[in-house]
């Protein structure tokens, strides 16, 4: 297991982006933890976050020609990740989309480099998978090829069926979904920190009830 996965969980906890308690999910479930990437709110945190994205991308060995970030959360992520990759000798173009097409100036629905070749999508999480599906459609419409998705945390949680949203993306589009860390890494982190031990049984019980198999 890559060390950066545990480092990322520690970072998210310290930034209070990953919190423990009782939180209601969009599916109406009561989750013992909550991850909100919107709480990475300053330059230092964004830089470190995007360093983790770059590490996960390089470790995955996914072959790509450029990066794409879906509006809105994907915009700072794709820009920051491209900078971190360039610092490690991988200078690649990036772009992001507008929510509404611009009908003046340069026009169009995307900002940055033109979509071409193999495009790697950078997002925060996959919940219902709507953002990823819209991104894939946009990339294909431009004549490019979506080659994978990179997210911060994979909750490994069932959607409406037996599969998670991440597994559904893999099944429907045949592309890899890479995460910086997953629920397994979160459980491993809790097991190693006695001050958070009270949360371990609740997270494990939630995983037992709603989790998906890795198969």
Active-site annotation, residues: 102, 104
Helices 165-173 and 130-141: angle between axes, nearest 10 degrees: 20
Show Cβ contacts of residue 206 under 8 Å, excluding neighbours closer than 6 positions.
29, 31, 32, 33
Q: How does DSSP classify residue 90?
A: -
Q: Which two tokens stand for residue 99?
A: 């929510």
The answer to whether the beta carbons of residues 151 and 97 sit under 8 Å apart is: no
DSSP alpha helices (H): ranges in the chain? 3-14, 43-60, 74-87, 130-141, 165-173, 183-191, 197-210
* Alpha carbon 102 to its chain's center: 27
Task: Give dist(CA 101, CA 80) in Å, integer.
Answer: 24
Would you give the DSSP letter of residue 135?
Answer: H
């Amino acid at each position: 297991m890559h060390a950066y996965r545990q480092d990322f969980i520690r970072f998210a906890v310290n930034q209070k982006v990953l919190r423990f308690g009782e939180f209601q999910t969009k599916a109406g479930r009561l989750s013992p933890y909550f991850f909100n990437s919107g709480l990475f709110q300053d330059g230092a945190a964004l830089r470190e976050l995007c360093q983790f994205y770059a590490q996960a991308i390089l470790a995955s060995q996914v072959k790509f020609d450029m990066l794409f970030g879906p509006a809105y959360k994907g915009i700072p992520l794709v820009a920051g990740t491209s900078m971190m990759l360039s610092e490690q000798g991988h200078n690649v173009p990036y772009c992001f989309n507008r929510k509404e097409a611009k009908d003046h100036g340069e026009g169009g629905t995307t900002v940055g480099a033109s979509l071409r070749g193999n495009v790697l999508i950078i997002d925060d999480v996959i919940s219902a998978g709507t953002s990823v599906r819209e991104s894939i459609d946009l990339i294909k419409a431009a004549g490019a090829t979506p080659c994978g998705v990179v997210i911060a945390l994979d909750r490994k949680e069932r959607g409406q069926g037996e599969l998670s949203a991440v597994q559904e993306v893999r099944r429907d589009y045949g592309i890899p979904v890479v995460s910086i860390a997953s629920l397994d890494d979160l459980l491993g982190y809790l097991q190693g920190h006695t001050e958070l031990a009270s949360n371990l049984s609740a997270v494990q019980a939630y995983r037992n009830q709603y989790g998906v198999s890795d198969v």
